[in-house]
Structures are given as structure tokens and as C-alpha cells.
Chain A
């Protein structure tokens, strides 16, 4: 990705052609071997790092004038700090292999990354050159081609912009499954597709039909509907526009197919048949697999012509499974109730999915999880979110 991206962006290409040691990694541009002067008046080499504004894997105008710097506090030839850089100490790991020490702020309206990088290079290198005339950041040292092992078809520049790559990599599980691609499962897929999970396996035997379209993420076209695709085919083709590793299984999970769920790192169970839920939860326990089961119920209050209901999110982990049967029905087939008639509640589906994915991210350590609640319910009419089955640390 790095090589392709540099080749397609004229400003990065020019930096490379002029001999800068540039590398693109996790949405950051890293320029190494930039000479600067330390407070001890020696010449050292540092790295200038900026996030990249990208579209279609081509650089856009930089979103701000600031950069990060890996090295000591840069100084003038006299050894006095270069205050014009407005250096702020901020030691942090931006992504794998990139630890920075300072944030600089040399204000200017940089039209592209060539202008931005060369400006910072001058501020840092000029004092160094006054002490050692032959030093330069334009080393023409060959950089090993770094083809990034990314699941995305285009770089996730949102994550690097926000500076949360170290948290984000915690989500890079090898194999997760979404069982059931009804309203809630489809929104779970929508959210996990945008994380660095390597493989997302989809399990559902249904077809994608007109009534599904109104509680699905995105906007299905009439043409999409006419193709009479299975749900897993439809969603695989939709999300393969964004990423690799979406794997369709046009199967309902039953006692014959339950074995497919072995060896997953995490499973989202988004189904509405309690007996299947029971089978899956038992299988997860035997195979030591953490999972989240989601569900909701809605009811019409006839005389008020409004709906009441609740969403439930239940986490089951190798460390805590005893609560599952207390909160989740494991018996009986689907009843013919209001929700069973495909009432349109995409907002609740999306909420239920978002709460489930949020919980998974807590399980991964992406978000802090003080109480480690394994059970939560959102009651609509009370606007209430509960926190139960907590684990004290």
C-alpha cells in the first residue's frame, strides 16, 4: 500500500524522488534521517511524522500545519531551543514502530505534503548544516518496499488522523463470526467491517428481499433486490468494496453445521431462535470461545398507537458464563408477534448492534471497561441502560 500510495501522490513522489527517506505506514507519513541540532550542539538525526489526508489513496491538502517529531528537543546552532517550532512534549506511540517525542507547530498554509515536509526539514536542518555543512535529509538511501498487510482496500486514514492506531490494533482478531444477518447482525457487520479484524465469517441461510432493505445498513437499490441474492452474498459483495476477508456461509447454524463455529476468536450471535441460541452457547462454552448474544423485543400499545420495548446485550466469556441462562431464553421457537412480522426498527437494530460492538471493543481493550458488565438492557420508554453481571477486578 505504501509504494502504491507514494506512486499515486505527486507530492510524496517528489519527496521520494528528491531523496527523502519516506515511508507510509498506518496512514502516517514518516520522514527519517532529518538532521537537527541537540542542546549539546551536536548534529543528530530525527524523524518527522504527519498524518495523511487521503482520498482514493491519493494525498489531499494537509488538514493542519502540525507534525510530530521523534528525537531530542531541536535547537539552533547555539544550542538554544528553536521556539518557532512551538515544541510540545508528547511522547507517544503512533503506530507499530513509530514513537514520537514532540509535536511542532510552524504555522503556514501548506498546499501539499511536499511543502509541509520541506519546510520542517529546513527549520531543522539549516542549523545542523551551519555546524556540519554536508548533512542533509535528502540521503537517497533506498527504503525497503513496505507493502502493508492491511485488510482494507484503501487506507484507514480516519484512525491515523485520530491518533488511535495503538488502540485500534487490539481489534485485529484473526477470525470472528456474525451468526444471523437480520437487522441487528447486518449492523454488527457494518461496524466490525471497519475494524482491522482479518476475517469476518457470515452465517445465514435467508435471501435478501425487499422487506430486509428497510432495516439494513446503507441503501439497497432495486437492482440489488432483483438479483435475488442470499443475504450473505449481498453483504459480502457490499462490504468487499471496503475490505478483504468477508467470507459468506449460506447456512443456518443447526446441529449439522454447528461445527463451523469452531476456532473463532469471537462470535456475534444475532438470531431469534432460542433453541439455536442454546445450542450455540453450549458449543461456545465447550470450545472456550467468547461471544455476545443480542436480542430485542417490541410491543405495540394499541390504544396509544406507540411502541415499547427493549434491547439486550449479553456477553459470555471463558471467565464468566454462569449468567447466560439467567438472562436469555433458551427454549421455544419463534412466536408470531409484532417483531416477527418484520416491523421496521432499523434504529433499534443499529443501537443493539452498536452496543454489542462497543462491548466487543471493551473486551478487546480498545475502550476502558471499569465494570466489565456482561449483561445490559436498553429500555426505550425509560431511556435506561442497565449494567449487570459485572466482574470486579
Chain B
């Protein structure tokens, strides 16, 4: 899904073809230059669906540049080396 959506970006000037990022501790290569909350959840948990009652905490950080978090409806620009964590954070 992610590869399809980003295919038109491949030849765009000033954009990389792919990015290496870390998702929940594992190295991943993606071609999207932007990542939405839902896409982030699916990257970490393929097939799982956030809903009104099931939430994931999505945080991203960059070796250089901005850190932040995502909720439903938000997206972030993907950068090489970005660390993405998608968590349910329900345990205590």
C-alpha cells in the first residue's frame, strides 16, 4: 500500500527514492515521503485498526530535526534515520 501511494514521487526533483527508518526498533525501507497516523500504525501493526476506542501512541524523532507525535488525521515528513514508535501503552 505504502509503495503504491508513493510511486509518483520517485522522480520528483529534490526527493529521495526511499528512506531507511526504524519502526518499533526494526529497520524498514519505505518510499513514502509523508507518513500519516494510520500508515504509521499499519507499518508497525499490519492489519490492526485503530478505532474510537482503540488508540495507538505514535511518536517520531529525527537525528537532526524535529521530534513529535501523531494522532488521527496528522502526518509527518519522512526523513532518513527517523525513529518511529507505535505503541498501545496500556500496561501498568
Contacts and interface: CB of A to CB of B under 8 A. Distances in A.
A43 interface: no
Interface in B1-46: 22, 24-26
B91 A386 contact: no
Nearest to A300: B25
Interface stretch (A30-38, A65-73, A102-110, A268-276): A268-276
Contacts of A274: 53-54, 90
A299 B56 CA distance: 14
A331 B25 contact: no
Given A306-B25, A327-B55, A382 B92 contact: no
Contacts of B87: 296-297, 309-310, 312, 377, 379
Given A329-B53, A379-B59, A312 B89 contact: yes
A274 B89 CA distance: 10
A299 B68 CA distance: 21
A279 interface: no
A271 to B, nearest CB: 6
Contacts of B71: 326-327, 388
Nearest to B51: A331
Interface string A251-290: 0000000000000000000111010011000000000000
A308 B26 CA distance: 10
B61 A311 contact: no
B4 to A, nearest CB: 28
A79 interface: no
A382 B52 contact: no
Interface stretch (A14-22, A116-124, A152-160, A179-187): A179-187
A386 B54 contact: no
Contacts, number: 113
Contact of A382 (B85, B88, B91): B85
B78 to A, nearest CB: 15
Contacts of B90: 272, 274, 277, 295, 297, 328-329, 334
Given A299-B25, A304-B25, A329 B55 contact: yes
A126 B53 CA distance: 75
A284 B55 CA distance: 20
Nearest to A389: B71
Nearest to B82: A382
A310 B59 contact: yes
A382 B83 contact: yes
A198 B85 CA distance: 39
Contacts of B22: 381
A340 B51 CA distance: 23
Contact of B61 (A182, A334, A379): A379
Contacts of A388: 69, 71
Interface in A292-337: 294-299, 301, 304, 306, 308-312, 325-332, 334
Given A180-B92, A310-B85, A329-B54, 18 more contacts: A185-B92, A270-B92, A272-B90, A309-B85, A310-B59, A312-B87, A312-B89, A327-B57, A332-B54, A334-B91, A339-B91, A377-B69, A377-B85, A377-B89, A379-B59, A379-B87, A384-B61, A384-B67
Which 4 pairs across A and B sit closest by C-beta, in order of nearness? Answer: A331-B53, A308-B25, A312-B89, A382-B61
15 contacts: A271-B92, A272-B90, A272-B91, A274-B53, A274-B54, A294-B92, A295-B88, A295-B90, A295-B92, A309-B85, A310-B85, A310-B89, A325-B55, A326-B71, A381-B85
Interface of B: 22, 24-26, 51-55, 57, 59, 61, 67-69, 71-72, 83, 85, 87-92
